[in-house]
Amino acid sequence: MKLFFGEIYDDHAILNEEESHHFAKVLRGQEGDVVHVTDGKGKLAKVEINSISKKVVEGSIIELKTDFEKKNYYLHVAIAPTKTMERLEFFLEKATEIGIDEITFLQTFHSERKNIKIERIEKIIQAATKQSLKAYLPKVNDLTKFNDFIKQDFENFTKCIAHCEDDIVKTPLKSILENEPNKILILIGPEGDFSRDEILNAEKENYKGISLGQQRFRTETAALQAVFAIDWELKS
């Protein structure tokens, strides 16, 4: 059954404008059709469509689930965008499918990419959320300068920076996960890694340097590894 984004009220739901258009014009949906609607914040409703107008598709809620498949942890990944957007996009799609709550794009010293199309990225994440029938839509934050980002307050988060600098002590991600953190923030660097200064600055802000394993991975592979490992170790 198809999933649409919309507003969920007590006994009825309204598809967002774009989703209403998609339902009515692209999919040629009919009154009486039964679909899934999510607010992207944990509610998943089974809805029978009652009325279809040009801009609003509305229906009655048959069944409502709240906190649908809520994870037992919150994962925020802040990542330097890869040179090739395709690689970043694949990561975003997979991360959404596996489970991620918030994504920030980092502008770092070694970043080659200085801009991203945030609307395109939001579309990819929405599509992945719908495709994998999830009721939580990951939050997306625009490109932020590294040094500004690390100064932000992330209360109660276990804050980690993944890097490959050999002479700065790192903790294996495995050890971090043994403490079963329930709010995790992981920074993933660009091709060419974070600069030494960036790593040291992050440490001053209580980020722990971590290693993801013995291998040096590409940016998007390292990020995927982290998302998979956290799901693997923490999901109850």
Residue numbers at the binding site for a second copy (CB under 8 A)? 90, 94, 97-99, 131-132, 174, 213-215, 217-218, 221, 224-225, 228-229, 231-232, 235
**Residues for the chain: how many in total?**
236
Shortest Å, Cβ 230 to a second copy: 11
Shortest Å, Cβ 84 to a second copy: 12
**Between 5 and 228, whose beta carbon lies closer to a second copy?**
228
Q: Which residues contact 129 (CB under 8 A, 6 or more apart)?
A: 3, 38, 40, 96, 136, 137, 138
**Between 203 and 233, whose beta carbon lies closer to a second copy?**
233
Retrieve residue 56's tokens.
Answer: 């609003």
**Between 178 and 213, whose beta carbon lies closer to a second copy?**
213
Residue matched to tokens 């919309």: 6
Dist. CA 228–CA 100, nearest whole Å = 10
Cβ atoms within 10 Å of 197's Cβ, excluding its own: 11
Shortest Å, Cβ 64 to a second copy: 21
**Between 161 and 173, whose beta carbon lies closer to a second copy?**
173
Angle between helices 85-98 and 118-131 (to 10 degrees): 40
**Between 74 and 217, whose beta carbon lies closer to a second copy?**
217
Shortest Å, Cβ 192 to a second copy: 15
Extended beta strands in the chain, E state = 3-8, 12-15, 34-38, 44-52, 57-65, 74-79, 102-107, 139-145, 158-162, 171-172, 183-188, 208-211
Shortest Å, Cβ 54 to a second copy: 33
Dist. CA 131–CA 43, nearest whole Å = 16
Shortest Å, Cβ 77 to a second copy: 15
**Between 103 and 173, whose beta carbon lies closer to a second copy?**
173
